[in-house]
Structure 1
Amino acid sequence: MQIETEDVSIKPKSSYGIIDCDVHVSPQNQEEIRKHLDPKWHWRPLVGGRDLFAHPTYVNRTDAVPPSGLPVSSDPDFLRKQLIDEYGITHAILLHRSFSNPLPFVEFATAKASAFNNWLEETWLGAYNADGVFKGSIQISHQDPAASAREIERWAGHPHFVQVLSDSGARAPYGNRMYDPIFEACQKHDLPFATHVGTDGMGINLQASIGYPTHYIEWSTAHCIGYQTHLVSMLIEGVFERFPRLRVVLVEGGISWMPALLWRLDTLYARYRAEVPWLKRKPSEYIRDHVRITSQPLERPDQDKHLLKMLDWMDAEHILMFSSDYPHWDFDSPKHAFPKIPEQLKRRIYFENAKELYKL
């Protein structure tokens, strides 16, 4: 699609809503999770996250603390007021972070992810979800692909779980056949496999860049390196030939890197295609059928015309889905993320691509 600059800010309000594909929610206290664990695990700490690369300033929006005094993103009434009602969100795709993928004790990691799924189903997908606006992700611990597949089986068919969720942090790129049980379960139950940026270099996970960064800004900037590694691996190793109905969602890793990566990959494929005879198409040709990417954090060139060109290059009309990353400090407001784009493209990014992917 050829994109031309168009100012739609003066047009009437659109007739469609917004599907936010990256909304983070949290438990109100650790007991909400612990009660879903076998008592043999109760002595183990449940907290986890960026042990090496903690935020040097703050993680969340300064206005995201609920008046109720509950932790950020744990009060459903306040989240609805600040996000759902404020912006007319039709559905919020919830990404709860169990931070279980870096753990070396695989049995506990699996139990922890499962407990977070139980909690999400009981609260945000259950008691807080009378209108069905919240849709959830099945958290897995990819260290044990067989156990991950069983967890997917456990929740498959639930009306509000719409995808499987893992981290970008891993010990092997996702094209490795060790992950096939996960992708087989995703394909069997028509659930997209989503990976959220983070936990690279944490615990047992490898750092995608050369060595370990010394500053948070280095680690955060290089997130896209891990995504490129996973995507190239999946394309070249033939994941989408082995699983022709599998869809993959790349969350919170930026978007501007994708066109150049695919140009380079297609060029090399033309030279070395005899090395990968299982591929039936150019690597870039698998993207529209199998890959979706979320918009936040949106890299913004100084000139809007350059952003529009980038969206054109990456086929945003078919693969890009809006995300706000609520409640984090770099939250992208739906009102300002894409201020000057054609209405057809805006509708695809804000609504149609996610509606089709998640069958909403």
Structure 2
Amino acid sequence: MTVTADTTATDRVTPAERIAVRCVDSDVHPVPRRGELVDYIPEPWRSKYFRSHRVGEQIFYDAPDYAHSYAMRVDSFPADGEFACSDPDLALKQLIMEAGSDIAILEPIHGEMRIPEATAAFCTATNLWLANHWLDAHNNWHERWRGSICVAIEDPASAVAEIETWAGHPYMAQILIKAEPRPSWGDPCYDPVWAAATKHDLVISCHLARGQFETLPIPPVGFPSYNHDFMCSYSLLAANQVMSLIFDGVFDRFPTLRIVFIEHAFTWILPLMWRMDALYEARKSWLDIKRKPSEYVKEHIKFTTQPLDYPEDKTELMRAFEWMECEKILLYSSDYPHWTFDDPRWLVKHLPEHAREAVMFRNGIQTYHLPDTVPALEGQVRVF
């Protein structure tokens, strides 16, 4: 017998009946309520860094409706006045019950500080907060949430320590890093992080971040002027990391390593694969990698569907999907609770029919090692 998701603290019982997973959302952003996170930050960083100076507005490039709703869905703010996606029950209602996602990968947007140790301290706090406020039995009674082990890639030793701490947690599904820190990922300094990920068979996902000052993604010509060119620059950042991973031999050193680029767009990967393959054929004798670059992409790298580049002529998008073999490299994502939210019932209609199941749930189950069934919730919308 199924139960509804409209429960109270006294009747949060995991249903015995299970249903097949038909939608895995790989990009959902929970946010702490005011005051929830601070006590988790380890000392001395809590007192000497995060509480020692006033922090004002830190956004550098405003989204179109930032002043109105912080670039969030206006209906995702809970009634208690807290921030969007700070209430697990409201997120369950909107994302699972009403939109139809079956499992959601939670990715707290931990910031990039100028001091690596401070970023690492913030990641430690974020992981504790997520485990205690979203992945606990009270808030994950329905078993629909999966968490991310947030790590500071620029501090490999602390990153490995966090991975070792959380790798055995039943609801931690991935390792979450940022792409901004230098040098690029092909540098051997990151090898301990890749080794820890492959040791525990955890996928490493990279979500865009704004960073601070010189940690912002900077195109070769300098800082962008507006939000729109700033957002496009994330794809340039991801493209550079893809090339570094491949040409610097990371996937040859770690043949089971898996990488997901979240919210960096994806249509650019098709011409990049063509270009890398052409250079590989012309300079094969000078390169140490063992296969065509496009083969590494299709075996080791995935991208999330949001943001979806949508041309006026839909046939152009369909051709791009076919040429890049989207069923091998795409994961559905909604970007909840942002205003750019892609409802899974809308997104699935824009995929080639043969790729719909792979993109919407099969790739997600495989990538994050998810169960293929979840507890049934009465009244939940189904995408398939």
Q: Say whether the fold is shared (TM-score over 0.5).
A: yes
1:88 CA displacement = 2.1
1:215 CA displacement = 1.4
The alignment status of 1:42 with 2:52, answered yes or no, reads no
SS at match of 1:165: strand
Gapped runs of 5+ residues in structure 2? 1-18, 371-384
How high is the sequence identity, in percent, across the aligned residues?
A: 35
Could you tell me whether the CA contact under 8 Å between 1:60 and 1:329 is conserved in 2? yes
Quick one: which of 314, 319, 322 aligns to 2:329?
319
The alignment status of 1:242 with 2:253, answered yes or no, reads yes
The alignment status of 1:79 with 2:91, answered yes or no, reads yes
Quick one: which of 8, 30, 34 aligns to 1:25?
30
The residue aligned with 1:106 is 116
Tell me how many residue pairs correspond in the alignment.
343
1:107 CA displacement = 2.1
1:42 CA displacement = 3.0
Q: What are the within-5 Å matches in structure 2 for residues 1-360 of structure 1?
A: 16-29=21-34, 31-43=35-47, 44-45=49-50, 51-55=59-63, 57-58=65-66, 59-99=71-111, 101=112, 103-126=113-136, 127-199=138-210, 202-204=213-215, 207-277=218-288, 279-360=289-370
Could you tell me whether the CA contact under 8 Å between 1:64 and 1:72 is conserved in 2? yes
Q: Comparing 169-178 with 200-209, which one deviates more in the overlay?
A: 200-209
The residue aligned with 1:8 is none
Q: Comparing 55-64 with 263-272, which one deviates more in the overlay?
A: 55-64
Gapped runs of 5+ residues in structure 1? 1-13
Could you tell me whether the CA contact under 8 Å between 1:25 and 1:96 is conserved in 2? yes
Could you tell me whether the CA contact under 8 Å between 1:95 and 1:137 is conserved in 2? yes
- Hey, what's the Cα distance between the residues in 2 that align with 1:255 and 1:41? 37
Select the structure with the greater relative contact order (CA < 8 A; seq sep ≥ 6).
2
1:203 CA displacement = 4.7
Under a length normalisation based on structure 1, what TM-score does the superposition of the two structures give? 0.90
Could you tell me whether the CA contact under 8 Å between 1:209 and 1:225 is conserved in 2? no
Q: Tell me the amino acid that sits aligned with residue 347 of structure 1.
A: E
Q: Tell me the amino acid that sits aligned with residue 164 of structure 1.
A: I
Say what the alpha-carbon RMSD is for the aligned residues: 2.0
Distance 1:244 1:358, change over 3 A: same
The residue aligned with 2:12 is none
Query: Deviations 1:265-290 (Å, cap 9, x if unpaired)?
Result: 1001111222222x110111112221
1:198 CA displacement = 2.4
- Hey, what's the Cα distance between the residues in 2 that align with 1:164 and 1:251? 12
SS at match of 2:222: coil
Under a length normalisation based on structure 2, what TM-score does the superposition of the two structures give? 0.85
Q: Comparing 219-228 with 171-180, which one deviates more in the overlay?
A: 171-180
SS at match of 2:236: helix
Query: Deviations 1:286-309 (Å, cap 9, x if unpaired)?
Result: 122211110000001112211111
